[in-house]
Structure 1
Amino acid sequence: MIIKNCKIIFLDKIENGSVLIRNGKIEKINPEENNDEEVIDAQGSYLSPGFIDVHIHGAGGFDTMDGTVEAINAISKIIAGYGTTSFLPTTMTCALDDIKKSVEAAAICMREGTDGANVLGVHLEGPYISPNMIGAQNPNYVETPAIDTFKYIVGHNISAIKSITLAPEVEGAKELIQYVTGLGIVASMGHTKASYKEAIDGIKWGIGHSTHLYNAMTPLNHREPGVVGAIFDTDITTETISDGIHISYPSLRIAYKQKGFDKVLLVTDAMMACGMPEGKYSLGGQDVFVKDGAARLKEGNLAGSILTLDKAIRNIYKNNSYALYDIVKMATYNGAKHCGVSDKKGLIKEGYDADLVLFDEDINIQKVIISGKFSKV
């Protein structure tokens, strides 16, 4: 299959061209015409690497914590329609047995494949977080960081765990951070009440990422820089929920200016109401009410989002003057690096997986290709 007459979004430029796809891979960029190949005329649309979401709980009425292959598969199909071709199903602070069950289901989808977006692994959000920065996590299931309980949660699926969100200031965090990073798992600080010093200590122990920047962490203050200050003052990566609700656009601009486009990942933190009508849903066993584009607990706390990555890209593109390729990088290549698959995903490059998205000038998704095959949009 050849996709011709498209604006190809590379890592640092956009160029007109065509792409030859064979056997699920990008075989050639700007190939010679071949009458034997199916030809798709993009009619000037953008061709982007498939979007990668490293922090997403659910969509279409399904949640990672449902703990079933069917739920993960349903989520994969829903988000594929919005351009997401790979993701990390993300757990919540719940009972250990429930997390274990969800990890098992996601690991099966990772090994056996899905009908939609690829499962690259699992993001454990909790249960080793601060009860003083709970957000929409369930306070009844917060655990003290411990290697033993971590081993219990993951069981024989240790290779499926790509990242874990925890609070570095909690007793036991140091040992767990050092243990998971020794296994190649990304330790991320989030839902944390840490001071600047405590956050820096966590980074020294191995933390290399931070979960949903600004949200559920100590803010930047001129005398106590907090977790936000530690993120800005180091080269760890971070993620933004760019829905215009979790973070204001001026604060997003500050973050991108401080961290640069190489160190930020666009994520959705979407929950089961993503792609669904407004109404009552649940997250981590707690009731969530979706109204006016926001998902909140009855107390008013934001409870994930209903964001999709195409909308996140559109929001940033329409509210700033950044180059489109820089914005797309935050939704593609940076996520691939985070998941350890940047040697085969996240770029339009010969030999890479043919996970691709066609969209127009307004970032409206037109076609989605996963492993060289069209996905239903």
Structure 2
Amino acid sequence: MIFKNAKVLNENFKFCNVDIEIQNGVIKKIYESEGYTMQQQHEECLNLKGFMLIPGLIDIHTHGCSKRGCMEGSFEAINEISLFMASHGVTSFLPTSRSEIYETLAKAFKNIGACIEKEVEGAEVLGIHMEGPYFSEKLKGAQSEKFLREPSVEEFNRLQKVSGNNIMLISLAPETSGAMEFIRELSNKKIRISMAHTSADYNTAKDAIENGVSHATHLFNAMTGLNHREPGATGAALDSDITVELICDGIHVHPAVIRLVYKIKGSENMIIVSDTVEAAGLVNDSYMRSGEKITVTDGIARTSTGNLAGSTTMLDSSLKKAVSFGIRLEDAIKMMTINPARFLGIDNRKGSISIGKDADLVVLNSSLEVVKTFVKGKIIEKVSNIIGG
């Protein structure tokens, strides 16, 4: 397949006029505009004049969407999530867990591992983001308190084994008993550790970073905030070289704060995530999660106690919001493509439009709406029963 005449965001994250040749699911060649003439041996040429072609979006934090959850423990659930994701420009993602008993986590992780091996129909499943259960009760957010516990290397090893060694990222509270030893041991095994749902003060958070924490999950949300006398975990994340992720839905974090983080961290160390839950795609509805009723009103999901229960905003909408908040389009795309790819250590095959990388590509119109999504060169059609008609 040849993609012609698009405004292409190249590997340096600058828009230019080039043509892209795809073979066997990877980017084979990139031609200068007007420098390539279509030949008969190529079966298909896609004329994208008037459109933008960008790398596929990568979501490292999502619990589900369209009433399906990553914890369901079935291929059908993950497959439907992958299709819904792809319809919103996401070409790969980390299904994300929540705090649960070991047996529930093990069932979900075994299923996600099987989905990686079998391959789903939509966005590629990269691995697992284990969010919890090693969290602070004080800042548990929408996590269920009854499932919280201290970090356990032994429990993690069992879960990693049953997952097929597919846990790539763990979010935990570094102030919990045994957390520092846990962080040191697992970071030495190249598992990425993030601080989240934490009541840690600045010094404890900085110690955690020195011991191996390399990321901050949904910065500002469910962590000690930034104060001029007590910088908290948020201050420690900003006062370091670790990457930080933000939910860019305009609800979890104020646009002015997003701009502030952008100025501090720049375009290289900031990742935009969806943190979507089963409610993504719903406007006014409710559903049960871990025995608790989640109510969605005007697209905002909350627990029965009023806590935000994750986001309902998909990454394509977050892209538009980020630009409206003052982030350069090219930088906003970096925060959803090459930045998460580098963080996960897969930037040799994902995250940018480069020769030899997977042909994970998204076609956008001038309104930044997703027109077409390609995963490894295969077009993912928008299915009406998946995207709600």
Normalising by the smaller structure, the TM-score range is: over 0.9
Shift of 1:277: 4.2
Structure 1 stretch 196-205 or stretch 60-69: which is displaced more?
A: 60-69
Q: Match for residue 387 of structure 2?
A: none
Q: 1:100 and 2:106 equivalent? A: yes
- Kept in 2, the 8 Å contact 1:369–1:375? The answer is yes
Decide whether the 8 Å contact of 1:65 with 1:284 is kept in 2. Answer: no
Contact 2:110 2:164 in 1 (8 A): no
Could you give the per-residue CA deviations for residues 301-335 of structure 1, whole angstroms, max 9, x where no partner exists? 00011111111110011231x33111100001111
Which residue of 350, 354, 360 corresponds with 1:355? 360
Of 157, 162, 169, which residue of structure 2 is paired with 1:163?
169
Assess if the C-alpha contact under 8 Å between 1:9 and 1:48 holds in 2: yes
Evaluate the alpha carbon distance shift between residue 254 and residue 282 of structure 1 in structure 2; reply closer, same or farther with a 3 A threshold.
farther
Q: Distance in 2 between matches of 1:284 and 1:224?
A: 35
Distance in 1 separating the partners of 2:135 and 2:316: 30
> What is the one-letter code of the residue matched to 1:13?
K
Q: 1:32, CA displacement in angstroms?
A: 2.1
1:258 Cα deviation (Å)? 0.7
Unaligned runs of 5+ in 2: 383-389
8 Å contact from structure 1 (residues 169, 198) kept in 2: yes
How many aligned residue pairs are there? 376
Q: Is residue 369 of structure 1 aligned with residue 370 of structure 2?
A: no
TM-score, normalised via structure 1 length: 0.97
Please list the CA deviations of residues 3-50 of structure 1 after superposition, one character each: whole Å capped at 9, or x if unmatched.
111111123311122111111011111262223321111122110100
Residues 278-311 of structure 1 deviation map (CA, whole Å, 9 limit, x = unaligned): 2102344422111112111121100011111111
Residues of 2 paired with 1:372 and 1:76: CA distance?
A: 16
Per the alignment, residue 20 of structure 1 pairs with 21
Identity of aligned residues (%): 40
What residue in structure 2 maps to residue 343 of structure 1? 348
Structure 1 Cα separation of the partners of residues 283 and 220 of structure 2? 28
Asked if 1:36 corresponds to 2:37, the answer is no
CA displacement 1:192-229 (0-9 Å, x = unmatched): 00000010010011000010011000000011000110
Return the offset for 1:95: 1.1
**Residues 294 and 306 in structure 1, CA contact (< 8 A), matched pair in contact too:** yes
2:386 maps to none
Which residue number in structure 1 is paired with residue 5 of structure 2? 5
Give the counterpart letter for 2:7 in structure 1: K
Deviation at 1:345, TM superposition (A): 0.5
Contact kept, 8 Å, 1:271 with 1:283, in 2: the verdict is: no
Where structure 1 has 5 or more consecutive residues not aligned to the other structure, the ranges are: none
1:51 paired residue among 50, 54, 57:
57
Taking the aligned partners of 1:74 and 1:102, their CA distance within structure 2 comes to 15
In 2, the alpha carbon distance for the partners of 1:345 and 1:136 equals 32
2:297 is aligned with 1:291: yes
TM-score by length of 2: 0.94
Matched, 1:327 2:332: yes
The amino acid across from 1:92 in the alignment is R
Matched residues in 1 for 2:75 and 2:222: separation? 30
Over aligned residues, Cα RMSD in angstroms?
1.2
The 5 A counterparts of 1:194-209 are 194-209=200-215
- Matching residue of 2:241: 235
- Cα offsets for 1:172-210 (capped at 9, x unmatched): 101111121111111000000000001001001100001
Query: Within the alignment, does 1:89 sit opposite 2:95 as a pair?
Result: yes
Q: Distance in 1 between matches of 2:211 and 2:219?
A: 20
- The 1:84–1:69 alpha-carbon spacing in structure 2 relative to 1, beyond 3 Å, is same
